[in-house]
Amino acid sequence: MTTADLLLHPVRLRIIQAMLGRDALTTRDLGERLPEIAPATLYRHVGALVDAEVLTVVAERKVRGTVERTLRLREERTSVDADDPELDAEALRGGFLAYLASLAGAFDGYLDGPRTTLAADLVGFRQIAVHATDDEWRTALAGMREAIAPLLQREQAPPGARRRILATVSLPAD
């Protein structure tokens, strides 16, 4: 199985996204966060991610005759190589649709949960177009990465911090 096949599968993508920004979760915790995924399906895909070393088992304990695993995401293993020859247009299209579906699911979860207002919760989505050379755009993207780097490097959330999702798509429009 290619890295793209592994990571861009809709269920595995949801598991990875549920783990992002969290120290460690048990498979049971994942099941509670992803109730739309049947337990057998969840365990099968968690197993595939463990086998591929995308998830690492950091602890195991016996719970009512079974072994409960605590998992940690290896974020450095969650990206697809843009130069991978296996990434044809169809694979990219499928992966992108899985990404969008997962993002839509996260937004649905937000809308269905306790919330105040979009403005108070700092929720937004927008699309803009800019005119930039490739070098200018690389510089702009590097600036965005630099701006959020301190937040990504936190080992734990400080008091009052909320887990947030920042999703980006960048593509030429012409």
147: pLDDT strictly greater than 90: yes
* CATH class for the region spanning 3-116: mainly alpha
pLDDT, tens digit (0-9, with 9 covering 90-100), for 52-79:
999 999 999 988 888 899 999 998 888 7
126: pLDDT strictly greater than 80: yes
CA separation, residue 107 to residues 33, 58, 97 (Å): 13, 30, 15
pLDDT (0 to 100) of residue 40: 94
83: pLDDT strictly greater than 80: no
CA separation, residue 54 to residues 3, 7, 38 (Å): 10, 9, 21
pLDDT (0 to 100) of residue 28: 92
pLDDT (0 to 100) of residue 96: 83
d(CA 17, CA 161): 18
155: pLDDT strictly greater than 80: no
Which pTM was predicted?
Answer: 0.71
Q: Where are the domains of the chain?
A: 3-116
